[in-house]
Amino acid sequence: MSNSGKILVAKKNGVYVLKFVGDVRLTLCTALDIFLERMMSDLELKAVFIDLADTDGIDSTSLGFLAKISILTKKYCNWIPTIISVNKDITRILLSMGFDSVFHIVESRLDDAGSLHKLPILESSEEEARERVVEAHKILMGLNDENRERFKELIDMLEGQ
């Protein structure tokens, strides 16, 4: 399966930038989850910017991991991260998922994200992938009633396997 999406990351002076490029899907979530664990354990963590300016598409599992970033930064750092979204379709998806309640959403590009490097695509077992999908969608379900209704059937099906 080809994957045209990638996630680029950078850190400078405690500020993290995660840039999602292309069509970002479940296949990138294993590496993203591992990166999030490292980022959240960084004592220098001061801010997180998620740059979706060059994102063509993003699946609900990836959105769930974005929501996880917000939940963890609120819990451990007591602040809300920022999403950069210049694509009206992507912004509409973010708003429909309730992201405006857990992120600052801005519609202007970052000037300089520093030196970005690509997160690798890491293989995961079918069971690990299923667990990540369930986790991501449960996070989305926790954002609002519409998401709870939207993903209930999927979660019931996946947890029944």
pLDDT for the residue numbered 112: 63
Distance CA 114, CA 16 (A): 10
Decide if 127 contacts 85 (C-beta within 8 A): no
pLDDT for the residue numbered 26: 81
Helices (H), 9-160: 29-40, 60-77, 88-96, 126-141, 145-159
HSE at residue 158, side-chain half, CA atoms within 13 A, is 18
pLDDT for the residue numbered 145: 93
Say what the pTM is: 0.83
Residues across the chain: 161
Residue 54's closest CA among 27, 17, 79, 80? Answer: 17
For 46-55, the pLDDT digits (tens) are: 999 999 999 9
**101: which DSSP letter?**
G
pLDDT for the residue numbered 94: 96
pLDDT for the residue numbered 55: 94
Element (H or E) spanning 12, and its range?
A: strand 6-12
Give the residues of the chain that fall short of pLDDT 70. 1-3, 111-114, 120
Question: Domains of the chain by range and CATH?
Answer: 6-122 (3.30.750.24)
